[in-house]
Homo-oligomer: A and B are copies of this chain.
Amino acid sequence: MSVVDVSAGGMSGHTGRYEKRLADLTGLYEDGEEHARLVGALGNPIVYDVEDFRPGDKSGDLIYGVTRMSPGRVGREFFLTRGHIHAKADRPEIYYGQKGRGLMQLESPEGETRIIEIAPQTICYVPPFWIHRSINVGSEDLVMVFAYPSDSGQDYGIIEASNGMRHRIVARADGGWELTENPAYAPRSTKTVNSLMKQHA
């Protein structure tokens, strides 16, 4: 049993907690120099933290938790998570917005991008086989409750292997956001896609 702190993030009854600082996001931003400057200027702040409840890793069971992400920018890009695909790639994930304004950036193995806007009371279903990353495009903390199968695992290397996700989310002058192509993006080969698209027991 857990009680979610919508305002501050986190929850009671968690079995684990981790946090990521700005320096942990090295290599994710187009403006690496600005990122390095901010790590120093801001004293390497926490960008996001996660508290979760893990009953174990038996197939068929579920992990749930709360993630909180600070608002902020690195050049024209926003604070974001590293992003991952599940190690068992056919496992989905559910996010439920509690506070703030965020995006879930989804990318299929073949390179299709989908963006889901997340506000309080929005449930975002990440389908099996989709790479996903969350982005705080608002001016306050982004807080979400999540759940995913306990045997999912995370593969963070998939984004690095393609030199980032296919699109970047960048701020517009009017306070909104837009998609722009990532020129360094290296599409996955058919062989790589096929090896990802298998069902797991």
**A6 CB-CB contact with B under 8 Å:** yes
Query: Closest residue of chain B to A152, judged by CB?
Result: B60
**A180 shortest CB reach to chain B, Å:** 23
**A58 CB-CB contact with B under 8 Å:** yes
Instruction: State the CA gap A151–B145 with chains docked (Å).
Output: 22
* A:1-36 near B, CB below 8 Å: 1-6, 11, 13
**A49 shortest CB reach to chain B, Å:** 17
- B64–A123 touching, CB < 8 Å: yes
Instruction: State the CA gap A49–B88 with chains docked (Å).
Output: 34
**A96 CB-CB contact with B under 8 Å:** yes
- B1–A116 touching, CB < 8 Å: yes
Evaluate whether A123 and B200 lie within 8 angstroms (CB atoms) in the complex, with A91-B60, A94-B147, A147-B94 already known.
Answer: no
